[in-house]
Amino acid sequence: MSSHAVPNSIHISAFGSGCRSKTRRWTTANAGTATFRDELAKKLKKPSDNDCMYALMFAETSLMVKNGMLNSNRLQVCRVIDVPLHEVSGICLRRGRNGRMHLIAVGDRAAKIAWFSVPRSDGGRIDWHTGDIAKVSGSMLPKHDPQIEAVCADGPGRVLLLQETPPRVELIDPKALSVVAAIDLVVEGRGDIARAWSDPKGSRGEGMVLLPGGHLLVAKEKKPAAFIEFGPPNSRSLGLVRGGALANGGRWSIKKGRHRFVALAIWLPDKILAKTCADFSDLEIGPDGRLYLLSDKSSTIARLADLPPGGGAAALLDAWRLGDLDGKPEGLAFTAQGRAVVALDTRKPRRNLLLLEPAVAELRAVARA
């Protein structure tokens, strides 16, 4: 941090039960020897208070964005892999109860899926397998141009596919080659998100993660970008805190058949997150239990703060630039060591999966944040 120019001081105002009407001037002369949050915590009398800590994170991130510090977090490609799919639109990492992991990829040009068993080392051999989704019994996905934008998998290996138009998901059992459940995703009401979601030409789901209780967190791409929690009607929003996604090896709870899920909560990006990520392209949970966002237009991976139950604002904790890529970054996953894996939307099924370094989602790094 010391190599970057920072302002001499910043005013921080925080309002809440533990730091009501407190304003402090923080001098940043020693920013190179201590983190922003540590220095700010010394100035605010009760840093354990939630409202105070939110003010600390906001001020810290504001300074970093203003002075270009987030742009210095640039990831480098350390391995390039060929995915046997055209126009990859989403990837995920399936974590089984026995510790085995599989990387799964889908494309939006044809209703096909590809996967491989993750080797023990990042440089290990990769053996791809492919399957034809159009042959799955009960699937309503068209063979061509299925508009599959994201993929998730639970512990038993069932695969959830997100279709943008119409907005729905299918839960597939690859072993039985059949659809377990089909879910329509509905945003009720007359608000901006509801109107955009129901617009046939509008932007809908681009990424998703599985939540406990059969709930689903979806990233709406743009106009406007948002995070939406879907679940059965009349159920309560869960939100998403660190470690609150579906547990590794867990089974996503849902009954067989046709379902209708409604929006239970909506989170809109705050000004800093909106500036850092111009659109939302994919979501993933890191090994650290945090929620991560991939932005295609901004070529950025962002670590997000907790999403409180009931909706509200989504805030940025940190971000990393991807630099110039030979394709659109559309899919995000992480290795067990916390290295980002990014899938590219390319016409040819070559050089469309990147392993990046350094690791950004490992436990040790987050423990120091």
Confidence band, pLDDT 50/70/90 cuts, at residue 94: very high
Contact 261, 217 (CB under 8 A): no
pLDDT recorded at residue 154: 97
Q: Is 342 exposed, middle or buried (0-12, 13-18, 19+ CB in 10 A)?
A: buried
pLDDT recorded at residue 368: 41
Interval 147-183: pLDDT, tens: 999 999 999 999 999 999 999 999 999 999 999 999 9
For the ranges 11-15, 68-72, 78-82, the one whose mean pLDDT is highest: 78-82
Round to whole Å and give the CA distance between 274 and 295: 10
Contact 341, 353 (CB under 8 A): yes
Are 140 and 257 contained in the same domain? yes
Round to whole Å and give the CA distance between 343 and 48: 39
Are 27 and 116 contained in the same domain? no
- Better pLDDT: 68 or 188: 188
Overall average pLDDT of the 21-39 stretch: 41
Overall average pLDDT of the 5-32 stretch: 37
Overall average pLDDT of the 283-293 stretch: 97
Round to whole Å and give the CA distance between 296 and 278: 8
Are 113 and 206 contained in the same domain? yes
Are 292 and 311 contained in the same domain? yes
Is residue 329 in some structural domain?
yes
Interval 304-331: pLDDT, tens: 999 999 999 999 999 999 988 989 999 9
Is residue 2 in some structural domain?
no
Is residue 172 in some structural domain?
yes
Question: Nearest to residue 221, comparing CAs of 196, 195, 194?
Answer: 196
For the ranges 10-19, 66-75, 342-351, the one whose mean pLDDT is highest: 342-351
Round to whole Å and give the CA distance between 41 and 343: 39
**What is the reported pTM?**
0.81
pLDDT at 14 over 80: no
Is residue 1 in some structural domain?
no
Q: Which helix (H) or strand (E) holds 239?
A: none
pLDDT recorded at residue 207: 97
Specify the number of domains making up the chain. 2
Non-local (6+) Cβ contacts of 153 within 8 A are: 92, 93, 94, 102, 104, 159, 160
Are 51 and 180 contained in the same domain? no
Per cent of the chain over pLDDT 70 is: 79
Round to whole Å and give the CA distance between 9 and 91: 43
Are 86 and 23 contained in the same domain? no
Are 60 and 196 contained in the same domain? no
Q: How distant, in Å, are the alpha carbons of 142, 200, 202, 203, 283 from that of 166?
A: 11, 8, 11, 11, 20
Overall average pLDDT of the 264-269 stretch: 98
**Tokens 């899938």 correspond to what residue?**
343
Are 275 and 241 contained in the same domain? yes
Is residue 24 in some structural domain?
yes
| Mean pLDDT, the chain, integer | 84
pLDDT at 82 over 70: yes
pLDDT recorded at residue 147: 92
Are 99 and 67 contained in the same domain? no
**Tokens 């939110």 correspond to what residue?**
54
Are 49 and 118 contained in the same domain? no
pLDDT recorded at residue 35: 45
Are 67 and 80 contained in the same domain? no
pLDDT at 45 over 70: no
* Residue 182 belongs to domain with CATH number: 2.120.10
Are 149 and 298 contained in the same domain? yes
pLDDT at 8 over 90: no
Round to whole Å and give the CA distance between 74 and 60: 19
pLDDT recorded at residue 40: 52
Non-local (6+) Cβ contacts of 184 within 8 A are: 166, 167, 168, 258, 259, 260, 261
Confidence band, pLDDT 50/70/90 cuts, at residue 55: low
Q: What per-residue string of b and e applies to 152-164 under the rule 16 or more CB within 10 Å gives b?
A: bbbbebbbbbbbb
pLDDT recorded at residue 2: 34
Non-local (6+) Cβ contacts of 154 within 8 A are: 94, 160, 210, 246, 250, 251, 252
pLDDT at 101 over 50: yes
Q: Is 269 exposed, middle or buried (0-12, 13-18, 19+ CB in 10 A)?
A: buried
Confidence band, pLDDT 50/70/90 cuts, at residue 99: confident
Q: Domain range spanning residue 209? A: 76-368
Per cent of the chain over pLDDT 90 is: 71
Pairing of strands 178-186, 257-269: parallel
Round to whole Å and give the CA distance between 281 and 85: 18
Contact 280, 293 (CB under 8 A): yes
pLDDT recorded at residue 34: 41
pLDDT at 244 over 80: yes
Contact 229, 173 (CB under 8 A): no
Strand ranges for 85-220 from DSSP E: 88-95, 101-107, 112-117, 129-132, 148-153, 159-163, 168-173, 178-186, 205-210, 216-220
